[in-house]
Structure 1
Amino acid sequence: MKRLLPLIAAASLLASCGEKKPELHLYTWDDYLNPDLITKFEEEYNCRLVVDIFDSNEAMLAKLKAGATGYDVLVPTSYMVKVLAREGMIVELDKSKLPNLQHVDPDYLTSLAFDKEMKWSVPYMLAPTGIAYVSDRVENIEPTWRVFERADLKGRMTLLNDSRETLGAALKTLGFSINTLDPAQIGQAKDLVISWKKNLAKFESDQYDSGLASAEFFVSQAYAGDAFQAQEDNEKIEFILPAEGTSVACDDLVISKNAPNPELAYAFINFLTEPANAAANMEYIYYLAPNKSAYELVSQEFREIDSLFLDAETMKKCEVIDDLGENNKLYHDAWDLVRAAQ
């Protein structure tokens, strides 16, 4: 019997070493979570966080509709939350499992949020879309979307690979709403983007920030947070908001209907909404979390970023991209023509 004890102990040790930790599968945008928070969450919940990346809301939706499964938490933009809810792809939230919702900024919920009661989603990060440029490579830049008409910058500019953002920029340039349902206005915006396309290096949503940092690209339509992250690697990068106006988008946290680990999903959303974690996340990714308790925890330098803390006058020129239901096809069809144009 004594000779069996070491064998039993060894077998027990091997079993414990092979014990698999629970996994949380997150489907989100690139560079959109402070790595220190990943480590902290994994340690606190004795789990593993697995991150998969998408580059547009439409790409995310297409993948889910094609049958992709296994995701616990998704991070769509607010207008796409409405689509996912309508399609039955996400669950109605149990707020009793999310005590940190008390920290969400009520002003944001009242003024900008679509899901004002947080029935389906919890706001994650908020920022406008604008123009990022490398200041020592671009002369006489003006705060206008028409910068993409500049032939002297041909091959050094990018627009987002996102139908609503890019057509939205053209619509604002033409004086129209980014949520217009007028086919003629959408057609004019499509033609304008096609005219810009000849000056582009590419449509790009994932890696344009690294391209700006290396000066491969000189000008990019950019999410504010991406531009500020790129500044960490290249201090010559500047970010401006076009005078014609732009979109302000909030990305939200939702739980997939087929989440393999829903309880861990609730824990993750609550973890990110804890004020100290929200503040640490903001300082790292340079987006604004609509979390009133976290505002006082970020640095003064962060609070002075005008492109995140927008004033009332700027907000008048901004719009939130909305889900247009069956009319989304107007934009999808226009975007297909943009991408096919030579």
Structure 2
Amino acid sequence: MKKIPVMAAALSAALLSVVMLTTFSGCAKKPKLYLYNWTYYTPDSVLRQFEKENNCEIIYDTFASNEELYAKLLSGGTGYDLVFPSGDYVSIMIKQNMLEKIDKSKLSNLVNIDPMVLQKATYDPKMEYSVPYYFGAAGIAVNTARVPQYEKSWSIFGRSDLQGKMTMLDDMREVLGDALVHLGYSVNTANPAEIAAARDLVNSAWKPNLIKFDAEAFGKGFADEDFWVVQGYAEVVYEEISEEQKKNTAFFIPPEGGPAYIDSMCLLKGAKNVDLAYKFIDFIHRPEIYAEFTDYFGFPATANIPARQLKKVTPYYQAEELTNVELKDDMGENLTLYDDAWLTIRVGD
């Protein structure tokens, strides 16, 4: 083995230290974007492409409900740059000064957002604090091999011939909202008599036919054919069923309407990586990226118009089915009316 002169060895060691320091310093300085989003709501391919384009790292934390998101933020769970609340919680967070105002001059792709979505986003129609991420709604999945004849209406849950083969979501605003629109009322009514009528409809006509209220296993139960009709989200059902089963599965949002949601991208107060956050918002609304996102989940490209021409996957339902849906508002003190009605449904008088 050739002996290296002392001076040369020292110089080599010094150079190696500089290289290592530069390398590790570069890694340490790699910018990070902290996202707090719904579970399985952004394709990994989209996240990795953003990281590559912007030479950054995304830290992606998830929540299962708006309540979980809100509670974590209130309890000091800060450090996030972008959060993805639904409309009613955007409204709450605006009122509590939890969000930064959106600087639209930093966003070139807002022109792609469907004006119809903004029209429904009455909590922030000018995108002062939020940018729509996805506009959707729960609907009804039907096993057409088992139920060949059916009406596209929430009244399907009143069919006694399907007793023991149906589920509805374990979600107060969803179930009562369905009953309210079926009766011709708003999903956001604060009229005690209307809420009572919806409660009675669920208790007397729908609940007796249900196996249970289920917000977690309805997709698997549908795939196993334990349930033939379920209220739920299309992506959950289609994630569970086989390709063969898809031929005998129909999913629809009743024309009479129902509760809907707009999940939005919001810049959290005190966010540290603001420029990167704006880049991510604009990246999501790049038409080809939005098409990739919605294709992955089988969604229609509800919030981004030009993305609709770039989709490669037929969505599980069409954006037009959302025409008559109504966003769930923050009910404030009137929420107790719903709480009381739901208690009689889930527990009994």
**TM-score (normalised: structure 1):** 0.82
Would you say the 8 A contact 2:258–2:326 is kept in 1? yes
Structure 1 gaps, min length 5: none
Cα separation, 1, equivalents of 2:289 and 2:140: 29
Residue matched to 1:290: 303
Aligned counterparts of 1:337 and 1:68: Cα–Cα separation in 2:
35
TM-score (norm 2): 0.81
- Taking a change above 3 Å as real, the CA distance of residues 185 and 4 of structure 1, as seen in their structure-2 partners, is farther
Deviations 1:125-174 (A, max 9, x none): 12233101233344543323233345665665433343322220121233
- Aligned-residue identity in percent: 37
**Equivalent residue letter for 2:251:** F
Q: How much has 1:341 moved relative to structure 2?
A: 4.4
Deviation at 1:193, TM superposition (A): 3.9
- Give the drift of 1:85: 0.6
Matched, 1:83 2:96: no
Aligned to 1:112: 120
Distance 1:330 1:45, change over 3 A: farther
- Establish whether residue 200 from structure 1 lines up as the match of residue 208 from structure 2: no
Shift of 1:12: 4.6
Provide closer, same or farther for how the CA distance between residues 231 and 73 of structure 1 changes in structure 2, counting only shifts above 3 A.
farther
Give 1 or 2 for the bigger CA radius of gyration: 2
Give the residue type in structure 2 aligned to 1:93: I
Which stretches in structure 2 are left out of the alignment for 5+ residues?
1-6
Q: Partner of 1:22 in structure 2?
A: 31
1:276 — aligned with what? 288
Conservation of the 8 A alpha-carbon contact between 1:127 and 1:225? no
- Counterpart Cα distance in 1 of 2:217 and 2:277: 28
Alpha-carbon offset, residue 332 of structure 1 = 3.8
* 1:222 paired residue number: 232
Residue 213 and residue 31 in structure 1: after superposition, are their counterparts in 2 closer, same or farther (change >3 A)? Answer: farther
* Equivalent pair of 1:171/1:186 in contact (CA under 8 Å): yes
Provide closer, same or farther for how the CA distance between residues 12 and 238 of structure 1 changes in structure 2, counting only shifts above 3 A: same
**3-state secondary structure, aligned to 1:124:** strand
Q: Give the direction of change, closer, same or farther, for the CA distance of 1:27–1:186 in structure 2 (3 Å limit).
A: farther
Q: Deviations over 1:168-218 (max 9, x none)?
A: 0121233321111112322332344455456234431x5543543454543
Pair 335,268 (structure 1): closer, same or farther in 2 beyond 3 Å = farther
Alignment coverage as a number of residue pairs: 334
| Structure 2 partner of 1:2 | 8
Partner of 2:222: 212
Aligned to 2:258: 246
Q: Aligned-residue CA RMSD in angstroms? A: 3.2
Match of 2:177 in 1: 168
Contact 2:177–2:258, Cα closer than 8 Å, also in 1: yes
Residues of 2 paired with 1:328 and 1:69: CA distance?
27
Instruction: Report what 1:189 is aligned to.
Output: 198
1:97 paired residue number: 106
Identify which range, 35-44 or 227-236, moves more after superposition.
Answer: 227-236
Q: 1:237 aligns with which of 249, 260, 269?
A: 249
> Is residue 335 of structure 2 the alignment partner of residue 328 of structure 1?
yes
Opposite residue 277 of structure 1, the aligned amino acid is: I
- 1:64-108 per-residue CA deviation (whole Å, 9 max, x = no partner) reads 334432332222222321121112221111112212112222343
User: Residue 278 of structure 2: SS of its match in structure 1?
Assistant: helix
Superposition map of 1:254-273 within 5 A: 254-273=266-285
Of stretches 29-38 and 138-147 in structure 1, the one that deviates more from structure 2 is 138-147
CA separation of 1:131 and 1:300: change in aligned 2, threshold 3 A: closer
String of CA shifts for 1:210-243, please: whole Å, max 9, x gaps: 5434545432212345455556754132102335
Q: Structure 2 matches for 1:132-151, cutoff 5 A?
A: 132-138=141-147, 140-150=149-159
CA 1:131/1:259 → structure 2, altered by over 3 Å: closer, same or farther?
same
Offset of residue 325 of structure 1: 3.2
Q: Secondary structure at the match of 2:138?
A: strand
